[in-house]
A and B are shown apart, each in its own frame.
Chain A
Amino acid sequence: MLEVRNISKSFRGLRAVRDASFTLPEGGINGLIGPNGAGKTTIFNVIAGVYAPDLGEILFEGRRIDGLRPDQVCAAGIGRTFQIVKPFAGLSVLDNVIVGALHRERSVAPARAYAVSILEKLRLAPKRDLPAASLTLPDRKRLEVARALATRPRLLLLDEVMAGLRPTECDEMVEVFRSLNRSEGLTILLIEHVMRAVMALAGHIGVLHHGEVIARGTPAEVVRNPAVLECYLGEETEV
C-alpha cells in the first residue's frame, strides 16, 4: 500500500534520514521504532508532505506522493497525528473533529454527525462541547487521533500517540486501533517509544538508527536482533 524507496533527507548537513526503504502491506499495523533522533518523525513528515525528500520516492497505492503538499497527501488518503499535539485550542472538541470530517463531507450537518461517531469511538463524546484548550494531555492525544480519523484515511500515521498515557489508557487506545484495523481495514503506521504498545499492536516493525533502517521483522524477531539490542533496547529499560 505504501512504498518508501530509498528516501534521504538532510537539514543543513545533518542527515536525518539516509536511504530508508520499507513497504507497508494493506491492512496491517506496523511500527517504526528507534532511539531519539533516529529520524522517525522526519520520515513521517516526509510521507505526510511536510518536507519533500532530497532523494528517493514514495508510492501510495501505486501513485507517487513525494513532493505533494500536506493537504494533498491527506486527500490521497493518509491521515496523521502530531507528536507535539496541535489542537485548534479555541474551538470545541467537536468543532476540531468537524474540521477533519469536512474533508470528505461537503456540508456541516453530515460532517457533524460523522464527527460525533468518531468522538464516541475514542470516548471523547462527553467532552465534545469543551474547548480543546481545556483537555488533559491524554485527551489531546485522543483528539489528535479523532481529527485524523475524521478525514477517513486509508492509512493512518500515528506519531507517539501513546506517550504520556497511563498503561490502562494505553491499552484502551490499543484496543481502539485494533478494532479500527479489523472492522474498517485501516492500515496503521505507528512511531512509538512505548514498547508495550508497539509489541501489542504491530505485526511488523522497522527499526531506525541514525536515519537508517537497521532491522525489520515481527516484534519477536526484532527484540532478538543483536544490532537492535545494541543501539536501542540496550538503553531502554521499559521492555
Chain B
Amino acid sequence: MSRGRVALALLFAALAVFPAFAGPYALSVATLVLYFAYTGQAWNVMMGFAGQLSLGHSLYVGVGAYAAGAIFFHYGIGPWAGLWVAILLCVALGVLIGFLAFRFGISGVYFALLTIAFAEFTRIGFDHLDWVGGPGGMFLRVAQRDTWDIANFRGPPLMYYYVILALASLALVLCHFLLKSRAGYYWQAIRENEEAAQALGINTFRWKVCAVALSSAMTAVAGVFFAFYYNNLFPEQIFNISRSIEIILGPIIGGLGTLFGPILGAAVLTLLSDGITELLAALGWEIPGVKQVFYGVVLLVVVMFLPHGIWPALARRLKLDA
C-alpha cells in the first residue's frame, strides 16, 4: 500500500472516531468541513476534470434542497424518495444549461455567466413560488433530535455527521475511479485542448454535458443534505452567489483537478474562518464581513504563491501520491 493510501485510511479512521472526542460545536464544524469537501468534489468534476467553470452551483444545492424539502414538508415523504426527484431536476437543469451553452459554442467566461444567470433567475422564481413559502422560506419540522430516524432523515447531529462523512468518502472514491477511467481521460483532454480532443475522436459536446450532469447530480445530493440538516430554506440565502463561491473556493485553494484538493481546501477554509470568527468573538470584537475578507486574503495568497493549490505542493513535500 502506498504512503498516500495509508495516510488516507488513517484520516478516515480518525474522522470515524472523531465524534467520540468532540463536543457539539466541534462536530458542527467538522460536518461543515465535510459538506464543503463533498460539494467541492462535485464542482471539481466539472471544472477540475473537464475544465468547465460553473459559478452557479448554488442552483443545484437550492433546487435539490427545495425538491426533497418540499416533498417532505407537503407529503411527509422522507428524502430517500425526494432524493431522486432532486437529482432528476438538477440533472435536467444541468443538461439544459450544458446543451444551451455547448451547442451554441458558449464557453469560458460566457459559460460561467450563464451558470450565474440560471442560479439568479431560479432564486427570483423561488421568491415567487408560494408553494415552498416564497421569500419567507420553508421550515422542516424538527420533531425529535435524539433517535436516529433514518427513513425520514431526522436525528441528532451525529447522524448528519456520519452521513456527510459517507458522502464525502464515496465522492472521493467515485472521483478516484472516474479520473482513471475513459471519462477521466476524455474530460482532461477537453480541459487541456478541446480542438485536439475532438480531432482524437472525442464527442466533446456529449462528454461536457456528461460532466455537467454528474456534477449537478452530486450537488443535488448535497442540497438534500442541506435541507434536512439546517431545516430552513430561503431562496435569498440558498441560491445566493456567495454560496456558489463558497463551494468553489475549497477546490481552488486545495488544488483544481486533484482528488484531495477539495477536501484539503474545505478543511483549511472552514477551520481557519471559523477559528477567526471564534477568536474575534472571544475578544469581544464584532466585525461584519470578516469571513469574506478572510476568504479573499487566502485566495490571494494561494493564487500568488501556490497557483496549483496547496495539495500538489503538500503532496510533493510529504511524498504522498493519493
Min CB gap B76→A, angstroms = 45
Nearest B-chain residue to A150, judged by Cβ: B200
Nearest B-chain residue to A106, judged by Cβ: B182
> Does B199 lie within 8 Å of A98, measured CB to CB?
no
Interface set, chain B 185-200, CB cutoff 8 A to A: 185-186, 188-189, 191-193, 195-200
Nearest A-chain residue to B188, judged by Cβ: A91
Residues of chain B lying within 8 A (CB to CB) of residue A95: 185, 188
How many A-B pairs with Cβ below 8 Å? Answer: 77
B204 at the binding interface (Cβ < 8 Å): yes
Give residues in A with beta carbon < 8 Å to B: 48, 50, 69-71, 74-75, 79-80, 82, 86-91, 95, 98-100, 102-103, 106-108, 111, 147-148, 150-151
User: Which of B182, B197, B200, B203 has the most C-beta atoms of chain A within 10 angstroms of its own C-beta?
Assistant: B200
Given contacts A88-B193, A108-B181, A108-B182, contact A74 B188 (CB under 8 A): no
Complex Cα distance A102/B185, Å?
9
Complex Cα distance A69/B201, Å?
9
> Does B196 lie within 8 Å of A102, measured CB to CB?
no
7 contacts between A and B (CB under 8 A): A48-B199, A75-B201, A89-B193, A91-B189, A91-B192, A147-B200, A150-B200
Residues of chain B lying within 8 A (CB to CB) of residue A88: 188-189, 192-193, 196-197
Complex Cα distance A50/B198, Å?
9
Residues of chain A lying within 8 A (CB to CB) of residue B200: 71, 74, 99-100, 103, 147-148, 150-151
> Does B196 lie within 8 Å of A71, measured CB to CB?
no
> Does A70 lie within 8 Å of B198, measured CB to CB?
yes
Which one of A75, A98, A99 lies within 8 Å of B197 (CB-CB)? A99
> Does B182 lie within 8 Å of A71, measured CB to CB?
no
Q: DSSP class of B's interface residues: helix, strand, loop or mixed?
A: helix
Nearest A-chain residue to B195, judged by Cβ: A86
Min CB gap B190→A, angstroms = 9
> Does A71 lie within 8 Å of B203, measured CB to CB?
yes
Residues of chain B lying within 8 A (CB to CB) of residue A48: 199
> Does A108 lie within 8 Å of B185, measured CB to CB?
yes
Residues of chain A lying within 8 A (CB to CB) of residue B195: 50, 70, 82, 86
Residues of chain A lying within 8 A (CB to CB) of residue B113: none
> Does B201 lie within 8 Å of A71, measured CB to CB?
yes
Residues of chain A lying within 8 A (CB to CB) of residue B257: 90
Interface set, chain B 166-211, CB cutoff 8 A to A: 180-182, 185-186, 188-189, 191-193, 195-204
Complex Cα distance A71/B207, Å?
12
Residues of chain B lying within 8 A (CB to CB) of residue A89: 192-193
Which one of B186, B193, B203 lies within 8 Å of A86 (CB-CB)? B193
Residues of chain B lying within 8 A (CB to CB) of residue A80: 199
Which one of A75, A90, A98, A150 lies within 8 Å of B192 (CB-CB)? A90
Complex Cα distance A87/B189, Å?
9
Min CB gap B246→A, angstroms = 26
Nearest A-chain residue to B202, judged by Cβ: A71
> Does A151 lie within 8 Å of B192, measured CB to CB?
no
Residues of chain A lying within 8 A (CB to CB) of residue B180: 108
Residues of chain B lying within 8 A (CB to CB) of residue A111: 182
Complex Cα distance A120/B311, Å?
33
Nearest A-chain residue to B182, judged by Cβ: A102
Residues of chain B lying within 8 A (CB to CB) of residue A148: 199-200
